[in-house]
A and B are shown apart, each in its own frame.
Chain A
Amino acid sequence: GENVEQHPSTLSVQEGDSAVIKCTYSDSASNYFPWYKQELGKRPQLIIDIRSNVGEKKDQRIAVTLNKTAKHFSLHITETQPEDSAVYFCAASKWGYSTLTFGKGTMLLVSP
C-alpha cells in the first residue's frame, strides 16, 4: 500500500518568513495530493490540492509543487502570519479512489 513520509515534524519561523513542508510517497500510481490544515483543537480542513497532471498550483500565499519522477511534493507558505500556526498534513491518493494516506503532520509555529 501507499506510504507517505512528511518532514519536518516541527517548523518554527518568524512572521513574514516563508515555510516549506515536504512529503514523499511510495506508490507511483498515486495522482492526487491534498494538504490539510488542523488548528489546535479543531478539525482538519483542506487548504489546497494538486493532481499529477500539473506541477504547481497556487492560491494566494500558499502553493504546492509536485515532482512525479522523484515522488515528492511540497507545500510552500509565503509571508507567514501567526494565524498560519497549525498542524499541516499531506496526503496521497489515486484519483477516483476515496481513501487518503496521510503523512504524520508538521507542526508550524509562526512567531510574531
Chain B
Amino acid sequence: DARVTQTPRDKVTEMGQEVTMRCQPILGHNTVFWYRQTMMQGLELLAYFRNRAPLDDSGMPKDRFSAEMPDATLATLKIQPSEPRDSAVYFCASGLGTSGNHNEQFFGPGTRLTVL
C-alpha cells in the first residue's frame, strides 16, 4: 500500500531557528503539493510542483519559506527564520497530475510544527 511519507512527524523549535520538513511522494506520482493547515485558515496551498518543477508558490511567504524537489523522491519545505505564527500542521500530498484519471491527491501524515 503505497503512501506519502513525511519527516519529522513533530517538530518543536524556537523562534528564529531554521526548520526543514521532508516528503517522499508515492513512486510514479509527478505532482507534489505542500499545504499548511490551521484551525483558522483550513488547508492552504503553499507550493505545487510538477515533474520537479515549481509551478505555483504564490501561497508561500517568500521571505522565509522555500520549497524544492532535489529529486523525484524528495520534496523539502524550509522555513528560515521560523516565527510563532508558522505553528501549524504541514501536509505534503502527491498525485498523478494530468496523466491520471482523476485529480486525487494523496496526503502524507503531516508534520506538526510548534514554534515557541
Contact = CB atoms under 8 A, between A and B. Distances in A.
| A is bound by B | yes
Interface of A: 32, 34, 42-46, 49, 89, 93, 95-105
Given A44-B91, A89-B42, A102-B43, A32 B102 contact: yes
Contacts of B14: none
B56 A99 contact: yes
A44 B44 CA distance: 13
Interface residues of B, number: 21
A104 B105 CA distance: 17
Interface string B72-116: 000000000000000000010001011000111101111000000
A43 B43 CA distance: 12
A100 B105 contact: yes
A43 B35 CA distance: 12
A77 to B, nearest CB: 20
B104 A103 contact: no
Given A95-B103, A99-B45, 5 more contacts: A43-B109, A98-B31, A98-B48, A98-B97, A99-B33
